């Protein structure tokens, strides 16, 4: 496997920079990817967690690459909490043998 492909000048391909970015994502609980794949777009993502608070997936949107991309974070976090609770309920029911 070779080095990551740079789709735009903003794509993070340096391993040290990527590690630092991922550490910030873990610390803040959000990923903001301004222009990484398309210069006109920002990816905004938040984690979905299981009952043990382990990240099991992510919920994301693609927004215009502008100063307002961050405004999607509160809505995404609220949706992620609801989805995480629903997944936890289904997991609990599956362990108890409850079918829906």
As a three-state string, the secondary structure of the chain is CCCCCCCCCCCCCCHHHHHHHHHHHHHHCCEEEECCCCCCEEEEEEEEECCCCCEEEEEEEEEECCCCHHHHHHHHHHHHHHHHHHHHHHHHHHHHCCCC
Which residues are within 8 A (CB) of 38 and not within 5 positions of it... i.e. 6 or more apart? 7, 8, 65
Over the stretch 13-65, which tens digit does the pLDDT of each residue have?
A: 999 999 999 999 999 999 999 999 999 999 999 999 999 999 999 999 999 99
Over the stretch 55-95, which tens digit does the pLDDT of each residue have?
A: 999 999 999 999 999 999 999 999 999 999 998 887 555 55
Residue 95 confidence (pLDDT)? 53
Longest Cα–Cα distance of the chain, Å, equals 51
- Domain 15-96 fold: Beta-Lactamase (3.30.450)
This model's pTM is above 0.75: yes
């Amino acid at each position: 496997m070779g080095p990551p492909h740079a789709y735009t000048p903003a794509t993070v391909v340096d391993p040290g920079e990527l590690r630092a970015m991922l550490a910030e994502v873990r610390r803040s609980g959000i990923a903001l990817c301004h222009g990484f794949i398309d210069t006109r777009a920002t990816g905004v993502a938040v984690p979905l967690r299981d009952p043990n608070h382990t990240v099991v997936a992510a919920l994301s949107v693609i927004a215009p690459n502008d100063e307002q991309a961050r405004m999607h974070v509160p809505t995404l976090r609220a949706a992620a909490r609801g989805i995480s609770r629903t997944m936890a309920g289904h997991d609990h029911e599956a362990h108890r043998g409850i079918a829906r």
